[in-house]
Chain A
Amino acid sequence: GNSVTQMEGPVTLSEEAFLTINCTYTATGYPSLFWYVQYPGEGLQLLLKATKADDKGSNKGFEATYRKETTSFHLEKGSVQVSDSAVYFCALSIKGNKLVFGAGTILRVKS
């Protein structure tokens, strides 16, 4: 089946630190890959996406590159801010079907 595995959190960083959240996937087919973010008390928001191998999704300083050879889509940001504190979900979709989410990674950024 299709599944997504994310690094366990929480991840705690100081402001301006470099962020990496690992995500790997298993898919029967060629998935589209996503990162969603959930701020406290809110729904999920699409952060970035990539639909084919070697594509890089980027938004708000976050980046992730679709790596087919390692079945990975790691999220990175060069300098995190306190306002980036949230839960981050990696997800995949195949041929427009339902999104399959990872367990989520809590990010806490200290000032």
Chain B
Amino acid sequence: DSGVTQTPKHLITATGQRVTLRCSPRSGDLSVYWYQQSLDQGLQFLIQYYNGEERAKGNILERFSAQQFPDLHSELNLSSLELGDSALYFCASSDYRGGDYGYTFGSGTRLTVV
């Protein structure tokens, strides 16, 4: 157990629907990062939050949004889902030192859009 908890582990939904992925960071970590892993695009950075505020944005679609709550857990919302959104979505966390010291990853949520 890495200390980063992601739920659910698997999600199957239809095109056009909306889903919410949840992440609880490792105890004491203030930063949360979301990544999308697909076969054709590899690991793509989506967004980072630090202590409740958006810190950096990557290739995140407008249909996707995220937030980090006061208890530091984060949610990634994916709407108007398309077949191409099927992927593994990883959450990672780090302490105040950020990426220079590495992240701790959760085990991911596998999203299948049918």
Contact = CB atoms under 8 A, between A and B. Distances in A.
Contacts of B48: 98
Interface string B65-97: 000000000000000000000000010100001
A42 B107 contact: yes
A99 interface: yes
Contacts, number: 59
A89 B107 CA distance: 16
B8 interface: no
A32 B108 CA distance: 24
Contact of B100 (A43, A45, A96): A96
Nearest to B106: A43
Contact of B99 (A43, A45, A96, A103): A96
A49 B100 CA distance: 9
Contacts of A95: 98, 100
B41 to A, nearest CB: 9
Contacts of A100: 45
A2 to B, nearest CB: 11
Interface residue SS majority, chain B: mixed
Interface string A55-86: 00000000000000000000000000000000
A98 B33 contact: yes
Interface residues of B, number: 23
A102 B43 CA distance: 8
B107 A98 contact: no
B47 to A, nearest CB: 9
26 contacts: A32-B99, A34-B102, A36-B105, A42-B107, A43-B4, A43-B105, A43-B107, A44-B90, A44-B92, A44-B105, A45-B2, A49-B101, A51-B100, A89-B43, A93-B98, A93-B99, A96-B97, A96-B99, A97-B56, A98-B45, A99-B33, A99-B45, A99-B92, A99-B102, A101-B43, A104-B42
Closest 9 CB pairs of A and B: A96-B98, A93-B99, A43-B105, A101-B43, A46-B102, A44-B105, A43-B107, A32-B100, A96-B100
Interface of A: 32, 34, 36, 41-46, 49, 51, 89, 93, 95-104
